[in-house]
Structure 1
Amino acid sequence: MPLRHAASPRARVLTTLIVAILAAPMAHGQSAPTDGAAKTLDQVVVTGVRASNRTSLDSPVPVDVLTEQDLRNAGAVNGELGAALAVLLPSFNFPRQSNSGGSDHVRSAQLRGLSPDQVLVLVNGKRFHTSALVNTDTKIGNGTTPVDFNAIPISAIKRVEVLRDGAGAQYGSDAIAGVVNIILKDAPQGGEVNTTYGAYHTHFSPTDRAITDGQGGYASADFGSTLGGTGFFHAGVETSHHAGTNRAGYDTVPDFIADPTPANLALQGKRNYAAGDPPNESYNGWFNSELPLNENARLYWFGTYTQRHTVGDNYFRYPDSDANIPSIYPDGYLPQSIGHNRDVQTAGGLRGNLGEWSYDGSLNWGSNAFDYDLRHSLNASLGAASPTYFHIGNYTFDQATANLDASRPFELGGRPVTLAVGTEYRHENFRTGAGDPASYAVGPIDAPAGAQAGGGLQPQDVADLSRNVQAAYVELSSDVTDNFFVDAAGRYEHYSDFGGNWSGKLSARWEFTPGFALRGAASNNLRAPSLSQIGYEATTTGYGADGRLVTGRILSVNNPLAQGLGAQPLKPEKSRNFSVGLTGQLGSAFDFSLDVYQIAIDHRVTLSETIDNDGLEAYIQQQFGIAGVQSVQFFTNAVNTITRGAELVGNYRTSVAGGNLLLTLAYSHNNTQIRSVEATPPQLIAAGADNVLFGVEARNTLTDAAPRQRGSFTAKWDNARWSLLSRVTRQGATTRVFDFGDGYVPTQTYVPRFQLDAEVEYHLTSQLSVALGGDNITNQYPTRSNSDINYGGNFPYDVISPIGSNGAYWYGRVRYTF
């Protein structure tokens, strides 16, 4: 049950004390270098511990530091930040979805194989908001509203710090898998102009065709200027346009998809479906600034803006089916979803020094608005009068945060100690708006009602939920001896809808011999269910995994119908994280880190399996007086999991042929197991359903659908004129499980694949360079899906393989710095 009690007296006292001693928050951390040395473990980091001057080498927890140069060398298609992180971090998964509803427009990322909403994202140390769109038709990230990494302009980034450890005591809710802190450019002069153009060129075996598609360009420009003498203003714009890809196979029109009538059979052997990346165009702007007021105080203000338009494909509707009106689409139709995504984040504040205290006080606001439309669709129940374009709903999420943090050094027993304290207030609001009436209308024709490929949100589905969160933390860091560092943090958070929670973290590092150290951490962390998981509702008509057309409802746990079927109020997820690691450095040539970890999570919030057993529609109508509901889903806390893993990073540097050679090996392994599953509610058993809240498909999503292992080996050589890079990545195995009912559970494992990327860059002058490169240049594809899973030959490759199904991508880049 949710925690309903008020904040305890201890929490109120702690908050009062912290507020009383604060003059404003914590000092801004030192910036990491942005040159080639960024691949070492000895940079200053500002994520993971609030003691100043800690580096990635002597941090008590694993922190990856990725520079602007690293991101550029990742060869990210069309400037996608998420894709770049997936190339550079084996523990980061960013699958390309297709025919997956909202995931065609907002891609979900995973860290350490956990859910996309179990990683916290910061920009300049400030909490970044999540997407408003609820992903309910996808595999990875099903039921989540993740952070949209691609809403953060990649050209704005100075470096990225990725903390691979639980950090709820330091940063608050969501930091179960880790924290991604994105640091914006802050140079007070100079800038760059960058343009890239590329396309996929591949031989596609399922159709035995050479395909060139996905053509697109990316361009960015940024500049810096001094502000107030020692301050800065740095800003930029970027834009990206690219066509879609299609890797659908030839349609066999099998019986389970559509009746084998002459009109339908005439489509055999044709490419009726589409499977691949959606067409995409985006426009982004950003700025980062700081203005000195005096020697001890500085104003700062930064922000990002993204506007993106995408087109996603859905399942083909055959000409002779109850989902079609032949007078409108005599040859059938392929509905397409249209996404209009607007994202903004801005934060400003005052930082400086007051006596012994360093302070930082800030206000932070972020918002995501997503409008969802459909084209090439129809509402079959309206007959020939049906429109073919629908507005099916809009989603909005707003997050406003106020922070007050402070830190100061002092001595205790002759040893240096850093004290950091802070408070936070956050207000969140999630809203949905109904689609146009035709998108959900029940017309006079005895046919499926609502727009095909996603009926519009109905007035009864509309949600408007808000909550407030207050938090206070304290953190102590100290070099207890010259070789032993300890950091301890505690945090109290109070949610207006869940009550209070304490979280804590203890981490330490022991350098047992010069250059070599053991490190470890233990923490408990929390993730409150998102407002969308609490209040989202939708009514849809679409094809299930077994090819049947189903009208269903996703119900809020507060809906009486959901409660009548066994839904319970959602509880927060709670984790217990443990890690231990070994780091080493041999001179300036070689460094490495090896970390192992365990994350046990209770009450994981998941979307239930689709409950669509025989007799459910009649049961709901008889018991609740609601007609036409053939399937139901709602969110649950039905499962407890445990994830164990290991991560290795190693770097070797040397001089070769008049240049510098850097070799990097990175490897990640994680294994998630189901510890326990809640029993099926008696209300569902009474409705004739059994073992449906968390069935085989949901188990597969959490345990095997993402790769358990990923590794990469990168070699980079450069001198004043040339830069050569090659990277071999081993994408691990993934497994897909479907449950078609009646014991029919087809399963397939997609074996590991090796991917080769390469790039060569030539500096024409000290300011102008050109580059040519390719991703997956050996044109590797996943294992072909078998006939049980490939949907009649239409989807020869599954979307869950991280190597994707687009084949080789080639690009060229021109870059000018000034």
Structure 2
Amino acid sequence: MTHRTSKRAALLVSAASCVLASVAQAQTPAAQDPVATVDEVVVTGSRTAQRSRLETASPVDVLTDEQITQAAAVGGELGYALQVLAPSFNFPRQSNSGPADVVRAAQLRGLSPDQTLVLVNGRRRHTTAIVNLESKIGKGTTPVDFNAIPASAVGRIEILRDGAGAQYGSDAIAGVVNVRLNDSRVTGGRFSATYGAHVTDFEPFDDEITDGETLVLTGDYGWGLDGGGFFRFGGEHKTREETERGGPGVLPFFEDQTADNLALEGQSLFRAGDPEVEQLSGWFNTEVPLSERSSLYAFGTFDDREGRGTGFFRFPDSSGNIRDIYPDGYRPITVVDSTDVQLAGGWRTVAAGWDLDLGLNYGVSEYDFGLENSLNASLGAASPTSFDLGDYRTDLLAANLDVTRGFAVSGLASPVSVAAGLEVRRETFETGAGDPACYAAGPLTDRPANSQAAPGLRPEDTVDIDRDVWGAYVEVSADLTDRLFVDASAPFEDYSDFGDAVAGKLAARYALTDAVALRGSVSNSFRAPSLSQTGFQSAVSDRGAGGALVTVRTVPPGSAIGQALGAEPLQAEESLSFTGGVVFNLGTNLSLTIDAHRVDVDDRITLSRRVEGDDVATFIEAQTGIAGVTAVNLFTNAVDTRTEGVDVVASWRTDLAGGLLSLQGAYSWAETEIRSVDAPSAQFQSLGFGTDLIGLEERNTLEDAAPKSKVSLAADWTRGPLRLSSRITHYGETTRVFDFGGGFAPAQTYGAETQVDVEAEYDFGESYSVAVGANNLLDEYPDESSADIGYFGNFPYDVLSPIGFNGRYVYARVTARF
């Protein structure tokens, strides 16, 4: 156990002791909050009147804390729980992808990760500081890190599946995920321990494997306050061991065919799998009444995480190895150390008939990126074997004033609800350079001049940029008749670096009968480029022509290299969204919703295709004086896309065999097509890369890399102290394309996969419960990759399939309630 591990464990034990001591002194017995009904009131989707899930004008999914606790059993990940529970949410795993191994990007409705707005208790969540450059889904984005929000802190989650830029501001093209922290007024707490591991039959080696052992400890406590207030707090500690799913590969043809290199064929040299992770998280949520009409509130989350992934194996006689240091070759270890904090607070009151909410919200994400078990081959035997590759930080500070009021209007079925507000926020993004040794050009000129697996940030790559944003919105809604509800909203936002924009949304719901209603909306939204997309630049190691490793520089359009290539300045993305659906509310125990959508995005921000080769290096050096740049990606607004889809969600409850049976079914389909691509600059074309600015790989990312469909059927049966649950999830096919240059662009479509999850839980009185379960019970894997796609057999399974590449996971959970 490391010193850091010991310190964290000591902190956790100390905190747990304090909680247990408080519990022992408590005189008020704990009670359980009532179970949420299928028609519970939601707050996401409208800033005016709160309506039930089946009465909203736009589709909203509601996930309860019980559902999240069960679904997060695999690794304690909130992001994974959302993928399992939400019909249109995708959260693929990554491997050998640098920081993306630890910070994974999520998709909503098949759109980009940075086109989903994430809220916590209704306040904007900050994005991560890491720019995903080596992932497949979300490449070039800085998404929100869902796994930095403790799953045990969640009271419920509301997912708005509709364009909402006109209601919540930019970044809400795909929709909104509103995470509401536990706000129970019940005095008491709970402590749980969950232990699990992957127990699987790994066919490439015909071997039974047990790995990925995970221990998650969670605790929380809280109490009600006079006047209806509350205070709750809690923490989590998680340790997860790595998984190993590398295959029996052969020596790549571009490596030296020496005896020592060939002797390693058939071994598992390249690790594919989940990284090793250690994580400590905490949270609190409170509201303190000042009077009958006024209260103070505050909440916060904290997450500290260290993850250890890996890069590609370097063979003994590789140009990237020094045999005096690693006589048998080596596999670099990438290390990500992250700290993520959100703090918010405010004052709610009533003045002159208006409900006022004045709040302040701050979020920060910090990442230190490093390497172990690596070297800079150009330095020879003098090279260090560990490196600090650089650090990243992003901050968000926002102040909000929101007001709401109802006005009685003659002739209408309900008062007119009016909401209006102002927001001022400041966003910053900065990076720091790594060790000089990670990018130094040493005396061995025939060897690569950077640390292997990731070169690190150079001083000239670092940035420190910021912008100010202010905005205002107004939203008006009312029941015009007993059957027709209408909601209209419009915001204005002004960016100090991109100017201003106006959006609008009109949504309506019409009840044909008491049981059947139609609903729909039309809206436009925009998303300004993130600060990282306008200013970030770095270099990474990736597969180039023929599959060999090359150093690829990613640059913003305004950089010297971007200008030399004729890149245009980035503009804001603009979208036009339509939804339409039907709601069947067939009593308190049965409901069905069907919603279709179309989202057109113009000037979508993506990474360009990679330009590489000796001609590129010569051109860039001649134009900028920067030497040794043989491959380049840059950010561009080149693409217009259209995403179309449909979501079907059904719920049914009935008595069965002396217990209560709850059934839920969901179907989601979304398909993205590229409508047009801008022609590249003359400078770009002069290098011989044709007229396609984004290339085959980025087309594949946008159109076919994510599954187009997902079907899930869930059943939960409760009788007295026993609860049995199961879920069957069917994921659609995915397609992977690599473009290695020279016309060599292998592609493979992976077939649909079905996953079965089960859990049984038994309550021993009101204080204790024990649960056992399995995810992917039938031990399913994706189709095996072809040799061209699977890097000569070293990566037998691709990361694209949501079913993952780790096989069956079994676990047990013990919970104590006080």
Mind listing any 5+ residue stretches in structure 1 that lack a counterpart?
1-32
The Cα of 1:374 is off from its aligned counterpart by 0.3
Matches within 5 A, 1:39-54: 40=38, 42-54=39-51
Q: Which amino acid aligns with 1:333?
A: Y
**Structure 2 counterpart SS, 1:642:** strand
CA–CA distance in structure 1, aligned partners of residues 138 and 562 of structure 2: 22
Q: Is the 8 A contact 1:458 1:539 kept in 2?
A: no
Q: Is the 8 A contact 1:613 1:689 kept in 2?
A: no
Q: Which residue does 2:655 correspond to in 1? A: 655
Q: Is the 8 A contact 1:783 1:797 kept in 2?
A: yes
Q: Is the 8 A contact 1:237 1:285 kept in 2?
A: yes
CA–CA distance in structure 1, aligned partners of residues 349 and 33 of structure 2: 24
Query: CA offsets per residue over residues 86-113 of structure 1, 9 Å max, x none?
Result: 0001200000000112210101000011
Is 1:397 the equivalent of 2:386?
A: no
The Cα of 1:550 is off from its aligned counterpart by 1.6
Query: CA offsets per residue over residues 55-88 of structure 1, 9 Å max, x none?
Result: 1010000000101011122243121000000000
Q: Which residue does 1:594 correspond to in 2? A: 594
Q: Which amino acid aligns with 1:216?
A: T
Is 1:332 the equivalent of 2:329?
A: yes
Q: Is the 8 A contact 2:72 2:78 kept in 1?
A: no
Q: Which residue does 1:481 correspond to in 2? A: 481
Q: Which amino acid aligns with 1:563?
A: Q
Q: Which residue does 1:126 correspond to in 2? A: 123
CA–CA distance in structure 2, aligned partners of residues 541 and 55 of structure 1: 50
Q: Against the structure 1 CA distance between its residues 551 and 37, is the aligned structure 2 distance closer, same or farther, given a 3 Å change threshold?
A: closer
**Structure 1 counterpart SS, 2:408:** strand
CA–CA distance in structure 2, aligned partners of residues 575 and 339 of structure 1: 35
Q: Which residue does 2:290 correspond to in 1? A: 293
The Cα of 1:541 is off from its aligned counterpart by 4.2
Q: Is the 8 A contact 2:309 2:333 kept in 1?
A: yes
The Cα of 1:346 is off from its aligned counterpart by 0.4
Q: Against the structure 1 CA distance between its residues 229 and 43, is the aligned structure 2 distance closer, same or farther, given a 3 Å change threshold?
A: closer
CA–CA distance in structure 2, aligned partners of residues 720 and 697 of structure 1: 53
Query: CA offsets per residue over residues 110-142 of structure 1, 9 Å max, x none?
Result: 001111101000000000000000010110110
Q: Which amino acid aligns with 1:436?
A: D
Of 402-411 and 291-300, the range deviating more from structure 2:
291-300
Q: Which residue does 2:754 correspond to in 1? A: 754
Is 1:604 the equivalent of 2:611?
A: no
Q: Which residue does 1:572 correspond to in 2? A: 572
**Structure 2 counterpart SS, 1:481:** coil
Of 84-93 and 539-548, the range deviating more from structure 2:
539-548
**Structure 1 counterpart SS, 2:51:** coil
Matches within 5 A, 1:677-756: 677-691=677-691, 693-756=693-756
The Cα of 1:551 is off from its aligned counterpart by 2.7
Q: Is the 8 A contact 1:123 1:181 kept in 2?
A: yes
Is 1:558 the equivalent of 2:589?
A: no
Q: Which residue does 2:532 correspond to in 1? A: 532
The Cα of 1:556 is off from its aligned counterpart by 2.1
Q: Against the structure 1 CA distance between its residues 43 and 551, is the aligned structure 2 distance closer, same or farther, given a 3 Å change threshold?
A: same
Q: Which residue does 2:278 correspond to in 1? A: 281
Q: Is the 8 A contact 1:76 1:83 kept in 2?
A: no
Q: Which amino acid aligns with 2:365?
A: N
Q: Is the 8 A contact 2:598 2:644 kept in 1?
A: yes
CA–CA distance in structure 1, aligned partners of residues 208 and 615 of structure 2: 49
Q: Which residue does 1:183 correspond to in 2? A: 180
Q: Which residue does 1:500 correspond to in 2? A: 500
Matches within 5 A, 1:287-686: 287-415=284-412, 416-446=415-445, 447-544=447-544, 546-686=546-686
Q: Against the structure 1 CA distance between its residues 593 and 73, is the aligned structure 2 distance closer, same or farther, given a 3 Å change threshold?
A: same
Query: CA offsets per residue over residues 673-697 of structure 1, 9 Å max, x none?
Result: 0000011210111233324521010
Mind listing any 5+ residue stretches in structure 2 that lack a counterpart?
1-31
Is 1:259 the equivalent of 2:256?
A: yes
Q: Which amino acid aligns with 1:796?
A: P
Matches within 5 A, 1:11-90: 35-38=34-37, 40=38, 42-90=39-87
The Cα of 1:320 is off from its aligned counterpart by 0.5
**Structure 1 counterpart SS, 2:621:** helix
CA–CA distance in structure 2, aligned partners of residues 376 and 262 of structure 1: 23
Of 569-578 and 183-192, the range deviating more from structure 2:
183-192
Q: Which residue does 1:161 correspond to in 2? A: 158
Q: Which residue does 2:764 correspond to in 1? A: 764
Q: Is the 8 A contact 2:468 2:496 kept in 1?
A: yes
CA–CA distance in structure 1, aligned partners of residues 205 and 258 of structure 2: 24
Specify which of 202, 205, 227 is matched with residue 203 of structure 2. 205
Q: Against the structure 1 CA distance between its residues 99 and 692, is the aligned structure 2 distance closer, same or farther, given a 3 Å change threshold?
A: farther
Q: Is the 8 A contact 2:679 2:692 kept in 1?
A: no
Q: Is the 8 A contact 1:34 1:68 kept in 2?
A: no
Specify which of 109, 112, 129 is matched with residue 109 of structure 2. 112
Is 1:791 the equivalent of 2:791?
A: yes
CA–CA distance in structure 2, aligned partners of residues 750 and 280 of structure 1: 29
The Cα of 1:539 is off from its aligned counterpart by 2.8
**Structure 1 counterpart SS, 2:683:** helix
CA–CA distance in structure 2, aligned partners of residues 330 and 735 of structure 1: 38
Of 443-452 and 701-710, the range deviating more from structure 2:
443-452
Q: Is the 8 A contact 2:545 2:742 kept in 1?
A: no
**Structure 1 counterpart SS, 2:75:** helix
Query: CA offsets per residue over residues 156-176 of structure 1, 9 Å max, x none?
Result: 111000000010111001000
Q: Is the 8 A contact 2:560 2:624 kept in 1?
A: no
Q: Is the 8 A contact 1:593 1:648 kept in 2?
A: yes
Q: Against the structure 1 CA distance between its residues 75 and 536, is the aligned structure 2 distance closer, same or farther, given a 3 Å change threshold?
A: closer
Q: Is the 8 A contact 1:75 1:773 kept in 2?
A: no
CA–CA distance in structure 2, aligned partners of residues 587 and 543 of structure 1: 57
The Cα of 1:51 is off from its aligned counterpart by 2.8
CA–CA distance in structure 2, aligned partners of residues 148 and 312 of structure 1: 17
CA–CA distance in structure 2, aligned partners of residues 714 and 226 of structure 1: 34
The Cα of 1:611 is off from its aligned counterpart by 1.0
Identity among equivalent pairs (%) = 52
Q: Is the 8 A contact 2:36 2:64 kept in 1?
A: no
The Cα of 1:278 is off from its aligned counterpart by 0.3
Q: Is the 8 A contact 1:119 1:180 kept in 2?
A: yes
CA–CA distance in structure 1, aligned partners of residues 58 and 702 of structure 2: 25
Query: CA offsets per residue over residues 502-524 of structure 1, 9 Å max, x none?
Result: 00000000001111100000000
Q: Against the structure 1 CA distance between its residues 542 and 509, is the aligned structure 2 distance closer, same or farther, given a 3 Å change threshold?
A: closer
Q: Against the structure 1 CA distance between its residues 730 and 545, is the aligned structure 2 distance closer, same or farther, given a 3 Å change threshold?
A: farther
- Root-mean-square deviation over aligned CA pairs: 1.2
Q: Is the 8 A contact 2:533 2:556 kept in 1?
A: yes
The Cα of 1:788 is off from its aligned counterpart by 1.4
Matches within 5 A, 1:166-245: 166-188=163-185, 189-227=187-225, 229-245=227-243
The Cα of 1:36 is off from its aligned counterpart by 4.0
Q: Against the structure 1 CA distance between its residues 378 and 527, is the aligned structure 2 distance closer, same or farther, given a 3 Å change threshold?
A: same
CA–CA distance in structure 2, aligned partners of residues 541 and 771 of structure 1: 44
The Cα of 1:614 is off from its aligned counterpart by 4.7
How many residue pairs end up in the alignment? 783
Q: Which amino acid aligns with 1:364?
A: N
Q: Which amino acid aligns with 1:414?
A: G
Q: Is the 8 A contact 1:61 1:507 kept in 2?
A: yes
Q: Which amino acid aligns with 2:292?
A: E
Query: CA offsets per residue over residues 316-356 of structure 1, 9 Å max, x none?
Result: 11111111101001111101110001000000100121231
Q: Which residue does 1:815 correspond to in 2? A: 815
